[in-house]
Structure 1
Amino acid sequence: MRTNVKQHLSTLRTRTVAATGALAAVGAAAALAATALPSAADTAGDAPLVGSPVGWASQNGGTTGGQGGPTVRVTSGGALADAMTEDGPLVIEVQGSVGLDGMNDVSSDKTVIGVGSNAAITGGGIDVDGASNVIIQNIAFSGWDDDAINVQDGSTNVWIDHNSFTNGHDGATDVKRESDYVTISWNHYFDHEKTALLGHSDGHTADIGNLRVSYHHNYFEGTESRHPRVRFADQVHVYNNYYQGNAEYGVASTMNAGVIVEGNYFEDVDNPTHVGYADSDPGRIVERNNVYDNSGAPEAAGSVAAVPYRYTLDDPRSIPGIVRGGAGPGNL
């Protein structure tokens, strides 16, 4: 299957070059129409439209993933791993359930998107390592042996959207080591402990000035901690998320991080927000317009500058219904 994917990509590029050369005299528009990319009729009703992110991933030039590149569909973990490391923009459609081992790199300018409502990745995870302009969307992750999605080493413009995460070993969506301009939206986390780490460690001061991440419309159902757990990052925007029965805490800001927590719904959460956590020094939290349903009192301290992008804040009282009905795969 790996060979087939590479041959398919090579064929797409060869046909594109040939068509462009043959039709140069009739203009660029005609050449584009003659390329071997799938038509709308070929993919209608299968892979959903990607759309565009709100939040930090919309900044710094925006996040478009594999837009403008060819499309390839994969049905095995090996084929997925190969396609993710191809050069240039590429839309990778994941069909059915595929298995991965360990962490698997994805290179810049890629969209990894599930087909329909049954696309899944089991056993391993995706490593966005020093890459830019990456979208991961509409996939159910489970049983990973390290992290499900790990964004690190200066990666920028990453959008993680409409996925689900359950029953893995370590982090579900971790962002660290000088990464920046990330949006994590409309995901469903359940039956898992460590959810979303932001910032590598108390000693990794190189994260200062980076790690700008937006978390919105995520459903943290019964997960224990790190929703997110933040070090150094400023500004982090946590809005319109649904927290339900989180055993340890909701959001923790440490190491002078600046976190805005607004318009969220906390239900049965004893510790909605922490200023400082474990051995880490305290951070800053601006808390506003949240609902605390059978939950403890939030901790807040300091000030955080406003985010530079436009966004629409839903009524926090409506968040349980909005997020339950819209988060996770199959809800695009």
Structure 2
Amino acid sequence: MTTCHRARRSIIAVAALSATAFAVPQDVVLAGKDAPGRTEAAAAFESTPIGFASVNALGTNGTTGGAGGPTVTVTTGAALADYVGRKGPYVIRLSGRVQVDDMLTVVADKSILGVGSTAEITGGGLQLGSTTRPGNNVIIRNITFTDASDDSISVTNKAHHVWIDHNDLSNGFDGLLDIKRESDFVTVSWNHFHDHSKTTLLGHSDTYTADIGKLRVTYHHNFFDGTAQRHPRVRFADPVHVFNNYYRDNALYGVASTENAGVLVEGNYFQNVAYPIYVGYDKSGPGRVVERGNRYVGSGVPQTAGTVVEPRTYYPYTLDAVDSVPSIVQSGSGVGKVGL
């Protein structure tokens, strides 16, 4: 049995790992048949985020969304647009299918929570923040996103401390979930991505160097189900932590690290993915990737390069046993699992 010290660290240290090492950090717990950890049920019902959204930074101690503010229930696009744009904290419960025509701007201190298993935003999406109204400290959970006219969710304009959890995203126009333009401290967890190509971009463009030193994102327990690419595609960010995700039948590639980004890919299950990890992609220059403890079934050989800052210098986390990832993720990801 593996044990660890779970105390949250208040000082961020800089540490690097070897691209070829397979050492398990001291404050990482291995879960599974040989090392008791979180059960499937417990893992799928986290009440607070794991990963970068949990970090005390930039004057914000973790991600709490609209906690402490009024709770409202919305059933129309007009009501949703009204409340996500209001000043101050709100817990916004989304009930039923809501049609919107464009991207709605979400400002700081909001929880947008789907009710039951039928909450849906269709025709448009959510943009976290504008250039004048930041979208910091936002939680989006338990919502189905379909047929967006642009991105389904866009985390942008320096938004920080964002938790995107247990959603179902498909059939968008551009990206299902893009994180860019100096956003930071984000966790993307337990989402089901399907029926789309450009899944989740991290970093605006090859020339947007203002993203250097930002874009710290954790992706865990997501189901990339037949989506073609960008799981994620990363520019400049360091570190990015990709763990315990299930990749299945991804036609172009799994993860791509470009433009000197630093990505740790660990404990993921790649099934029928010819190119699970790229170092550099298309016209973008190479990034850095460390991979450890992944499973490649019917898949190609991952590319790796360089060293990456160890995410454990920011937060503790639990790894589920890699061979259990397909069943855990399929049973726990998507909507209707968190009892909202």
- In which range does the TM-score fall when normalised by the shorter chain? 0.7 to 0.9
Give the equivalent residue in structure 2 for 1:319: 325
Aligned to 2:16: none
Following the alignment from structure 1 to structure 2, what is the Cα–Cα distance between the partners of residues 95 and 153? 28
The residue correspondences of 1:49-64 to structure 2 (distance < 5 A) are 51-59=47-55, 60=57, 61-64=61-64
Pairs within 5 Å for 1:46-125: 51-59=47-55, 60=57, 61-125=61-125
User: For each residue in 1:201-242, what CA deviation from the matched residue of structure 2 results, as whole angstroms up to 9, or x when unmatched?
Assistant: 000000000000000000000000000000000000000000
Distance in 2 of aligned mates of 1:241 and 1:312: 13
Give the aligned residue type for 2:155. V
Equivalent residue number for residue 13 of structure 2 = none
Aligned equivalents of 1:309, 1:71: Cα separation in 2: 30
Secondary structure, counterpart of 2:326 in structure 1 = helix
* 3-state SS of 2:309 partner: coil
**Counterpart AA for 1:293:** V
Q: Within 5 Å, which residues of 2 pair with 1:210-249?
A: 210-249=214-253
Q: Distance in 2 between matches of 1:215 and 1:54?
A: 10
Larger Rg: 1
Equivalent of 2:186, from 182, 186, 190? 182
CA distance in 1, matches of 2:232, 2:201: 6
Q: Distance in 2 between matches of 1:310 and 1:101?
A: 40
**Aligned mate of 1:151, from 148, 155, 159:** 155
Provide TM-score, normalisation by structure 1.
0.85
- Look up the match of 1:15: none
Quick one: distance in 1 between partners of 2:46 and 2:321? Answer: 25
Matched, 1:166 2:170: yes
**For 1:73 and 1:131, how far apart are their aligned partners in 2?**
20
TM-score by length of 2: 0.83
RMSD over aligned CA atoms reads 1.1
CA displacement, residues 139-182 of structure 1 (integer Å, 9 cap, x when unaligned):
00000010000011100000000000011101111000000000
Amino acid at match of 1:73: T
Q: Tell me the SS of whatever aligns to 1:132.
A: coil
Deviates more, 1:50-59 or 1:143-152: 50-59
Aligned to 1:195: 199
Q: Are 2:281 and 1:281 aligned?
A: no
Q: Which has the higher helix share?
A: 1
The whole-number CA distance in structure 2 between the counterparts of 1:226 and 1:270 is 14
Per-residue deviation, 1:331: 1.1
Greater relative contact order (CA < 8 Å, ≥ 6 in sequence): 2
For 1:205, the aligned partner's letter is: T
Aligned to 1:261: 265
Give CA-to-partner distance per residue, 1:35-63, whole Å, 9 cap, x none: xxxxxxxxxxxxxx982100000012100
Give 1:316's aligned amino acid: V
What letter corresponds to residue 327 of structure 2 in structure 1?
A: G
Alpha-carbon distance in 2 for matches of 1:273, 1:299? 5
SS in structure 1 at match of 2:317: coil
Question: Which runs of 5 or more residues in structure 2 are unaligned?
Answer: 1-44
* Deviation readout 1:74-110 (Å, 9 max, x if unpaired): 0011110111011111000000000111111011000
Partners of 1:176 and 1:168 in 2: CA distance? 18
**How far, CA to CA, are the matches of 2:135 and 2:198 in structure 1?**
24
Rounded to whole Å, the distance in 1 between the matches of 2:158 and 2:323 is 37
- Runs of 4+ residues over 6 Å off in structure 1: none
Kindly report which structure 2 residues correspond to 1:4-43, keeping only aligned pairs within 5 A, or say none.
none
Q: Report the residue type matching 1:328 in the other structure.
A: G
Distance 1:323 1:118 in 2: 20
1:132-147 alignment runs, 5 A limit: 132-147=136-151
State the alpha-carbon separation in 1 of the partners of residues 213 and 202 from structure 2: 13
The size of the alignment, in residue pairs, is: 285
Report Cα offsets for 1:91-142 as digits up to 9, x if no partner.
Answer: 0000000011111101100000000111000000000023210000000000
How far apart, in 2, do the equivalents of 1:131 and 1:97 lie? 24
